[in-house]
Amino acid sequence: MEYSFERKINYYETDRMGVVHHSNYIRFLEEARCDWLESIDMPFDVLEANGVTIPVLGVNCTYHHHVTFGDTIIIKPYAKEYTKVRMTIGYEVIEKKTGKLVLTGETKHCFTNSNLKPVNLKKYRKEFSDKFENLLHKP
């Protein structure tokens, strides 16, 4: 299932040069990731109510083209890697009007219990593990 998240750029997200400040993309990716998880019936509140947290271990972004105030971006998150203990989510960010590639990136995560101890999701909450496994991006 290909999923996309659309977002309009706000003025306050730009820098003195009038382009989106690079640090804001991390927030944009998180907004898309949260919305994506909701779309597959695994919102953070449900995961956390079941004792599962998904902390971020790392973020990697490559900036290809800038966007400015008023532009609309489309963010396409996908499950790039899933090991039952860790997951990597890939992202492609496109400028809606021009179709230009704005950013490619990934966030790395692990699964923990409510005490932040790493868990094997397949053993801890098999129903969630099965959903993540089914999301794996198959190029």
- For the chain, the domain total comes to 1
Q: How far is CA 74 from the centre of its chain?
A: 12
Asked if pLDDT for residue 139 goes beyond 50, the answer is no
Question: Which domain CATH number covers 15?
Answer: 3.10.129.10
Per-residue pLDDT, 8: 98
| Residue span of the structural domain in which 129 resides | 5-135
pLDDT band at 101 (very low <50, low <70, confident <90, very high): very high
Q: Distances in Å between the alpha carbon of 95 and those of 11, 15, 49, 107?
A: 16, 18, 36, 20
pTM for the full predicted model? 0.92
